Structure 1
């Protein structure tokens, strides 16, 4: 059990620390191209790892399912997250992108009929209130919302819709690691092509930028996916997923000294709300969350 905890927490740490090098990369690379390069290479590395381990490379689901997940969980989610990093900072993106599990919980209860415990409903209110604090901009009335923050939240909603629509089929037939590799690879290609057409080529492509892409592909994508699913083989999914709240905390706190993004009181308050909500929804002490919710815990 301790090994599973270490593996699960390690995956969350990897996802959390990836926000800083992502911010460094978008200094010279357009956000969509940066997101696509990270995902595409990450998918290739994950599939390569499976091949070396003689694990199946077939995702276990149809091309349509792979395409749907690539569109919602790779193109829309990562495109929005990197857009947020480029235009509002890594800290804000880390908090809002990781609200995806909250939206999955709402949709799983409404669409799939999955049961949520009362404390999980309370966690939804706390977490969404925290997100609202971050998104809110300007006076109390009339309401003014940050457009960039809404883009990031929209990406989190896209992730949740992608999860819920195919949840039953994926959990019954899919090979999670192979599916993750193919959807990242497909989504990465689409993001790169869209970014090059819309935003133009990167300003620089030297050793620094290529090193950041490789680091993000390994530390931010391939390694945490492998650690997360290895942890799932050793412990119940709810226990592994309970560490999900670490991702925004690490993202915000690492962006402070490394990027000079001193968190505002508003961002800290929102982070506390989102993290508390995630712990209440995903936590291990209040019963196990629904399967669609567990399936969603593959953050940026």
Structure 2
């Protein structure tokens, strides 16, 4: 791959991934979270199966490899996306949800050292901490919920599940299946995510969808841009870089989401938020520097 194009991929991933919260905000008023996600997964599988058939993409050579890819799908899609959508639907602001799952780089750095043997330098640790501080500054103004502890816990526990899911999925994929065909791999990842999500939705939701224009737009955006485009980029980045490097990109999601929300919904940015964005960007830059050899 051209070095310039390769350097651009992380920035493109952050931009696309950040629109996921915007898509949720647009679509969730018209469908319950797991029903929304189940519909999304069905369309993603259909699209990717068509791509696989037309391109004659290769499937994994063993059932073991298939199982590893499927396991990452349960964590990265089923747990992460399910948790994020449920928290937003339960009333947790998107910025606060982003802050919770934004702790992923710290957890991934710890896990990468313990499970993958990746060396995290002091400079990278400093970058990770700065990134977390920056994210906290960006969304801190939105955390004044004034809710009883029980209500807040009802909102935030799905986001904690999402945090654990995306962290475990990133580490698991890096260790057990860092390289696979992105076309067939996407199908394998989304099928178990669909089964789990649809099963829980059938037990806990009405499965009703209001086919409003906003919902259709949000659904198609999340299918084509997020589930096909951003997830393929995530898999590619995990293949090319360390788990810590890839995870540090998630620190940029809340600031970029805030900018998009300002552009689309006229949400104002406080001076603290602007400072936080600068701190987060600096932290990501440090965290993505290679360890000294």
Q: Same fold (TM over 0.5)?
A: yes
Residue equivalent to 1:3: 5
Give SS of 2:35's match: helix
Listed one character per residue, the Cα deviations across residues 227-258 of structure 1 (whole Å, up to 9, x for unaligned) are 5566789xx537x9576554332212112343
Does the 8 A contact of 1:31 with 1:82 survive in 2? yes
Does the 8 A contact of 1:119 with 1:280 survive in 2? yes
Residue equivalent to 1:161: 168
Q: Equivalent residues in 2 for 1:132-211 (5 A)?
A: 146-147=152-153, 148-149=155-156, 151-165=158-172, 167-171=174-178, 174-211=180-217
Listed one character per residue, the Cα deviations across residues 8-62 of structure 1 (whole Å, up to 9, x for unaligned) are 4323322222321221110111112223333342344234323322222338644
Q: CA RMSD in A?
A: 3.7
Give SS of 2:177's match: helix
| Distance in structure 2 (CA, Å) of the matches to 1:237 and 1:182 | 22
Choose 207-216 or 59-68, whichever is displaced more: 59-68
Indicate which of 124, 128, 145 corresponds to 1:124: 128
Indicate which of 287, 291, 300 corresponds to 2:290: 287
Give SS of 1:57's match: coil
Does the 8 A contact of 1:76 with 1:155 survive in 2? yes
| Distance in structure 2 (CA, Å) of the matches to 1:162 and 1:243 | 15
Indicate which of 18, 38, 41 corresponds to 2:40: 38
TM-score (norm 1): 0.74
Indicate which of 81, 84, 88 corresponds to 1:81: 84
TM-score (norm 2): 0.76
| Distance in structure 2 (CA, Å) of the matches to 1:54 and 1:229 | 20
Residue equivalent to 2:112: 108
Does the 8 A contact of 2:40 with 2:222 survive in 1? yes
Give SS of 2:192's match: helix
Choose 201-210 or 12-21, whichever is displaced more: 201-210
Runs of 5+ in structure 1 lacking a partner?
290-300
Choose 216-225 or 41-50, whichever is displaced more: 41-50
Indicate which of 240, 244, 253 corresponds to 2:259: 253
Q: 1:150 to 1:18 in 2, by over 3 A?
A: same
Does the 8 A contact of 1:4 with 1:231 survive in 2? no
Residue equivalent to 2:284: 278
Q: Equivalent residues in 2 for 1:260-275 (5 A)?
A: 261-262=267-268, 275=281
Give SS of 1:52's match: helix
Give SS of 2:58's match: coil
Give SS of 2:285's match: helix
Q: 1:49 to 1:272 in 2, by over 3 A?
A: farther
Runs of 5+ in structure 2 lacking a partner?
none
